[in-house]
Structure formats: structure tokens, C-alpha cells
């Protein structure tokens, strides 16, 4: 038996077209949601994401503002830009691309963003809202993970969910969302005793560790839903010439033979992250402007 492949690209395209419709319907009221993306430095992969975000933002009818700062930008300059974006009425969402250069305190920058414009959902106020069940902005990748899981099985209630990874960006918030979906949630990590055995308990397994192909086929419960958050660039000797390929945190071919449904990399969680960012921008625009 081979797992159903959960098509993140298609689910994301679906969400974007729904968002485009909503953006169009509120355009009549004179409101154009706006997303500001700030990139510090020249990291090649980051540039690609920023370009994709800007393109997709415009495609669904929202305004996109890009701010590219050099890698040696002082922290005070970045904080000043955030303050300007906080005060700018055309800006509904602010995303400061992570990671930031070492001389900048990322927590300080995140804390400086107006929580109601924090479309990444990384501000402590939004983390607190999520943990206590208050309405707020929810991190994009976790939101995408839950949507993809629900595209495989609409009702997650009562499921045994195991999240591997405890980051503030993915592991912790995805666990909160799954708890809100009435899953029984375990957060495991690199120090967990007998990680394979913990994973084998999962009806729903979310892998967000950032280690290429760490989760093996025999870690997976037959029929489980597997959501692979990892995006790891690894050497691809087959292609020769120093080429690379993308792999997830799950050994896909092995896992596919055991799971009931699985997200691929690329084409799984990644595209959903961007679509959810656009959704958050629309949410922020609605909430902020009534």
C-alpha cells in the first residue's frame, strides 16, 4: 500500500484563489490589504522566498511593500523601520525575514512589531493569545500544517498527534493548534527517550526538527497522516556538478510505503506557509480596520 500524497501546492492555490475573491469583495470599500516584507542581508534562499511572497501577494490583489536592507544595517535602523511600518496605515502585515544577522537581536525586533500587524504570529502577545484560545495571528507554517492534515482527514478530534520539534516558530504553535482540534498531543524532540517509539504512537505525525530524513519508515504507524515541515537542501551526487536537492525531515520513500497520507517536499508545507501568510494579512486588515 502506498500513501496518498497530500498536494500542498494545490491546497495552497485553492486557498489563494479564495483569498483573491475576498480581497476583491472588500476592494469596493476602498480597502487594499498591504503586506510589508523586510529582508536584511543577501542570503540567496531568503531572496527567493521574499520574491515569491511579493509575487503571490500582488497576484491576489494585495499591496506588497519590500524593504531590503544591507547585512550590516544597525539594529536601531531596523527598529526604526519597524516603527515606521507600525505607524503606516497602508501596512496591515509586517514580516521581518528570519534569521537576522548576529548583531541584531531577533527577539527585540519581533517584540517591536505591532502584535495586530504581526502576520508571522511570532510576537509574545500572539503566542499568548494562541495558548489561551484568544483570537490573534497564528504562525503560518503551523496553520498550513493543520490545514493539510485536515485536507486528508476533516476531523482530527481524538487523534494521537506527535510533534517532533519544539521551536517557537513551528513545534510549540502547531501543538497548540492540534490541541485546539481536540488531538491528544505529545511534543517530542532530539532529547526525547526512544523517539522512534513515540513517533510510532502517532495517528498524526508532524516532523519539524530540521534534520534531513531523520524520521524513518519504521517510525511511522501504518496508515498515519505524516506532515513534513522540513525543507533541507542536501548535496545531490546523482546530478553531479555540486548540485543540491530538497528533502524533508522524513525519509519520504520509506514513509510513503507505510503512511496513510503524507506531504511531499517540495510541494507540501512550503507553499501553504506563504498562502497562510496572505490569509493572515487579510485577517489583520479586517481586524485592524473593522
Ligand X SMILES: Nc1nc(=O)c2c([nH]1)NC[C@@H]1CN(c3ccc(C(=O)N[C@@H](CCC(=O)O)C(=O)O)cc3)C=[N+]21
Contact set with ligand X (CB under 6 A): 49, 95-98, 120, 140, 231, 246, 265-267, 270-271, 273-274
At its nearest, how many Å lie between ligand X and the CB of residue 40? 11
Question: Which C-beta is closer to ligand X: that of 129 or that of 245?
Answer: 245
Taking alpha carbons only, the member of 97, 105, 93 closest to residue 48 is: 97
- For residue 225, which phi and psi values (nearest 5 degrees)? -90, 125
C-alpha 200/C-alpha 163 separation (Å) is 12
* The three three-digit cell numbers of residue 20, written as one number: 483573491
Question: Which C-beta is closer to ligand X: that of 71 or that of 98?
Answer: 98
Question: Which C-beta is closer to ligand X: that of 195 or that of 209?
Answer: 209
Interior angle at CA 154, CA 52 and CA 56, nearest 5: 10
C-alpha 116/C-alpha 104 separation (Å) is 23
Catalytic residue among 56, 97, 176, 279: 97
279 catalytic per annotation: no
* The three three-digit cell numbers of residue 259, written as one number: 503512511
At its nearest, how many Å lie between ligand X and the CB of residue 72? 20
At its nearest, how many Å lie between ligand X and the CB of residue 27? 26
Question: Which C-beta is closer to ligand X: that of 41 or that of 186?
Answer: 41
C-alpha 29/C-alpha 183 separation (Å) is 40
120 catalytic per annotation: yes
C-alpha 117/C-alpha 35 separation (Å) is 9
Q: Which residue is nearest to ligand X (CB)?
A: 270
* The three three-digit cell numbers of residue 152, written as one number: 486528508
Taking alpha carbons only, the member of 196, 202, 206 closest to residue 222 is: 202
C-alpha 60/C-alpha 33 separation (Å) is 10
At its nearest, how many Å lie between ligand X and the CB of residue 120? 5
The conformation of residue 235, written as its DSSP 8-state character, comes to E
- On whether 165 is known to bind a ligand per the annotation, the reply is yes
Interior angle at CA 43, CA 251 and CA 240, nearest 5: 50
At its nearest, how many Å lie between ligand X and the CB of residue 265? 6
Question: Which C-beta is closer to ligand X: that of 91 or that of 159?
Answer: 91
Catalytic residue among 92, 116, 118, 120: 120
- On whether 166 is known to bind a ligand per the annotation, the reply is yes
C-alpha 188/C-alpha 84 separation (Å) is 40
Which residues are part of a known binding site for NADP(+)?
Answer: 165-167, 231
Which residues are part of a known binding site?
Answer: 165-167, 231
Return the active site residues: 53, 97, 120
Amino acid at each position: 500500500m502506498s500513501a496518498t500524497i497530500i498536494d500542498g501546492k494545490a491546497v495552497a492555490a485553492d486557498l489563494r484563489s479564495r483569498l483573491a475573491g475576498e480581497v476583491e469583495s472588500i476592494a469596493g470599500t476602498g480597502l487594499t490589504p498591504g503586506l510589508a516584507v523586510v529582508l536584511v542581508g543577501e542570503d540567496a534562499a531568503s531572496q527567493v522566498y521574499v520574491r515569491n511572497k511579493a509575487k503571490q501577494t500582488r497576484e491576489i490583489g494585495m499591496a506588497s511593500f519590500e524593504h531590503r536592507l544591507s547585512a550590516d544595517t544597525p539594529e536601531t535602523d531596523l527598529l526604526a523601520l519597524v516603527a515606521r511600518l507600525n505607524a503606516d496605515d497602508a501596512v496591515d502585515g509586517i514580516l521581518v525575514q528570519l534569521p537576522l544577522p548576529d548583531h541584531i537581536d531577533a527577539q527585540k525586533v519581533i517584540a517591536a512589531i505591532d502584535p495586530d500587524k504581526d502576520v508571522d504570529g511570532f510576537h509574545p502577545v500572539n503566542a499568548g493569545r494562541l495558548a489561551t484560545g484568544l483570537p490573534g495571528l497564528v504562525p503560518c507554517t503551523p496553520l498550513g500544517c493543520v490545514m493539510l492534515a485536515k485536507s486528508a482527514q476533516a476531523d482530527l478530534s481524538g487523534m494521537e498527534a506527535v510533534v517532533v520539534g519544539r521551536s517557537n516558530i513551528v513545534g510549540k504553535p502547531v501543538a497548540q493548534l492540534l490541541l485546539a482540534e481536540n488531538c491528544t498531543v505529545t511534543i517530542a524532540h532530539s532529547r526525547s527517550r526512544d523517539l522512534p517509539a513515540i513517533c510510532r504512537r502517532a495517528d498524526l505525525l508532524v516532523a519539524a526538527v530540521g534534520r534531513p530524513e531523520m524520521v524513518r519508515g519504521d517510525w511511522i504507524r501504518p496508515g498515519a497522516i505524516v506532515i513534513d515541515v522540513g525543507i533541507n537542501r542536501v548535496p545531490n551526487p546523482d546530478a553531479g556538478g555540486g548540485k543540491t536537492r530538497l528533502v524533508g525531515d522524513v525519509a519520504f520513500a520509506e514513509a510513503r510505503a507505510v503512511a496513510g497520507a503524507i506531504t511531499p517536499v517540495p510541494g507540501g508545507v512550503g507553499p501553504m506557509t506563504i498562502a497562510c501568510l496572505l490569509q493572515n494579512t487579510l485577517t489583520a486588515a479586517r481586524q485592524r480596520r473593522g
